[in-house]
Amino acid sequence: MTAVLARGFDQPVAQSQATFRAVMQALANPGRLIAFRSTLDTDTPLPVNAAALGLALLDFEVTFHLAPSLSAGSVADYLRFHTGARAAKTTQDAALAFLDLAKDTLCLADYAQGTPDYPDRSTTLIALSTRAETGMAIAGPGIKAVGTLGIAPLPADFTVQWAANRAGFPLGVDILFVTEEGFIGLPRSTRIVGGV
């Protein structure tokens, strides 16, 4: 028996553009929740907002990696079928990496950091998460004075990992936190300045 894959976008151009605009807003406004609710069917193998990101950002030239909690089901088949993208052999080969912060270990150093000539060849992490009312104080481009990164769960050593990620700027990974309510961006240019 052949499994039936969930549907992709009904209107690929319009839905991809709407998703991409929300992603750009999230990365331009670090820590701020950009409200977004995909109109994809809820039977996708990923939460609908994460599935929309995959459909909008992946294509035949973009590789992806799935963390262990997402690799056992039909996520890879869904993304390959609807986008033509290839699964990366290692985390270092992935342009996009999907993980669930509640189930997978986050180690930023495991992912591609880019090179001095091509810093854009780093991995963007798509992190399934939950919005929290409190969080870490953040500063940097796109933030007036000090903002808040209210995401849960984050590993206990996240501030140390993020400091190491920032130390190599312009190299480093960017993170898109995906919640039921929308997207929260954390580009590599953002620094954590303390707890809130």
DSSP letters of 18-37? HHHHHHHHHHHSTT--EE--
Chain-wide mean pLDDT for the chain? 91
Q: Name which of 134-138, 160-164, 178-182 the model is least confident about.
A: 134-138
> Is it true that domain 12-191 has CATH number 3.20.20.10?
no
**Whether the predicted pLDDT of 86 surpasses 90:** yes
Average pLDDT over residues 115-132: 94
**Whether the predicted pLDDT of 195 surpasses 80:** no
Q: Name which of 6-10, 30-34, 52-56 the model is least confident about.
A: 6-10
Confidence of residue 4 (pLDDT cuts 50, 70, 90): low
What are the sequence ranges of the domains in the chain? 12-191
Q: Percent of the chain scored above 70 by pLDDT? A: 96
pLDDT for 196: 45
Average pLDDT over residues 165-191: 96
**Long-range pairs of 66-72 with CB within 8 A, sequence gap ≥ 24:** 66/97, 66/98, 66/99, 67/97, 67/98, 67/99, 67/100, 67/103, 67/104, 68/103, 68/104, 69/99, 69/100, 69/103, 69/104, 70/46, 70/98, 70/99, 70/100, 70/104
| pTM confidence score | 0.92
Q: Name which of 16-20, 41-45, 108-112 the model is least confident about.
A: 41-45
Q: Name which of 40-44, 133-137, 140-144 the model is least confident about.
A: 40-44
Classify residue 4 by its DSSP letter: P
Confidence of residue 132 (pLDDT cuts 50, 70, 90): confident
**Whether the predicted pLDDT of 1 surpasses 60:** no
CA 154 to chain centroid, in Å, comes to 14
CB-CB contact of 97 with 126 (8 Å): yes
Average pLDDT over residues 112-124: 95
